[in-house]
Amino acid sequence: MTLEHILEVLPRDLSAYRQGNTGVDYVHRFESGQPGPHVLINALTHGNELCGMTAVTHLLDSGVRPLIGTLTLSFANVEAYESFDVGKPFDSRQIVHNMNRIWSSELLDGSEDSPELRRARLMRSVVDAADHVLDIHSTSQDVEPFWVYPAFARNAHVALSVGMPQIHLVMPNGLGSGTPLIQYGAFGEASHHGAAMVVECGQHFKTSAGDVALAATQGFLAHFGLIARSASEAPSPALRYELLQTCMVKSTEFRFVKPCVGFEVFAKDELIALNGDEEIRALCDDCTILMPTREPIVGREAVYLARPIS
């Protein structure tokens, strides 16, 4: 398939959205004047995940305002987004760091520097102010959309209430490859009140991913009362998976034993991939893989191993 066929969506100029009202570029906050939660909708944690841009620009362009509480809309890694090259559309995911793995105090308070760390440090106050966070993402492969969230009941409740997507990836022990935005600070603690979730909306450059992103965002905002809830069909039962292990690429010779796009199922101990001299095998029966790497890069994630849960 040629790039011309897969690039249904291209970046648009975001310069008109740079001047927000929070003191942080590309962050816009709207207060209702009524009591209620503060909800943050975040786009472009990865620069080539265009569905979040589609959803957030729609909300800004259409003048959506919260009925209660406070709504904040943000574009995160704009520098990576602006590096987009139609000839290399996957390369604008990040400049240096994966911006969705650096939300630990060790990195944010440390001496290391990168465009992503500088941006995350600026956005800390934005995330700190929020009660609930929806971080909008997409996938390199064309797979069904799904939620990702730490295994707290508050997150599951929101995902089940919103309904779409119907697939959930639940993380009982984090990602194991860094700290994502949705586990930053108090959001990673069982005692916190706030929901923090990722919605993976489908393939990066498909129009349908933007449609999913907007629908999930509207459902998230309606759940907390910031916008009116639209009439919808009763949701079908959710299909839930528990993340068991995140495998990292350790060798330039990494390869899967067969072509994988995500949601392939393996029997216990079945070989999934070769990672140099290391074998990656299924940890259980019905072991399901998610987010298999499209292009193995040493030091980056190779694949998630999960199991279906009731």
> For the purposes of burial, counting CB atoms within 10 Å of the CB of 220, is it exposed (0-12), middle (13-18) or buried (19 or more)?
buried
Q: Can you tell me the distance from the alpha carbon of 26 to that of 15, in angstroms, rounded to the nearest whole number? A: 9
Side-chain-side CA neighbours of 202 within 13 Å: the count stands at 20
- Spell out the per-residue pLDDT of the chain, length 310, in tens: 444 457 999 999 999 999 999 999 999 999 999 999 999 999 999 999 999 999 999 999 999 999 999 999 999 999 999 999 999 999 999 999 999 999 999 999 999 999 999 999 999 999 999 999 999 999 999 999 999 999 999 999 999 999 999 999 999 998 888 999 999 999 999 999 999 999 999 999 999 999 999 999 999 999 999 999 887 666 678 999 999 999 999 999 999 999 999 999 999 999 999 999 999 999 999 999 999 999 999 999 999 999 999 7
Between the alpha carbon of residue 8 and those of residues 75, 211, 289, the distances in Å are 21, 12, 27
Q: What is the pLDDT at residue 232?
A: 66
The pair of structure tokens assigned to 31 is 């207060």
Beta carbons of 195 and 156 less than 8 angstroms apart: no
pTM of structure: 0.94
Domains of the chain with CATH codes? 3-223 (3.40.630.10), 243-309 (2.40.50.630)
Q: How far is CA 63 from the centre of its chain?
A: 24
Q: Return the pLDDT at 36.
A: 98
**What are the strands of the beta sheet with 287-290, ordered from one edge?**
27-31, 70-75, 38-43, 132-139, 196-203, 146-150, 167-171, 239-248, 301-309, 287-290, 265-266
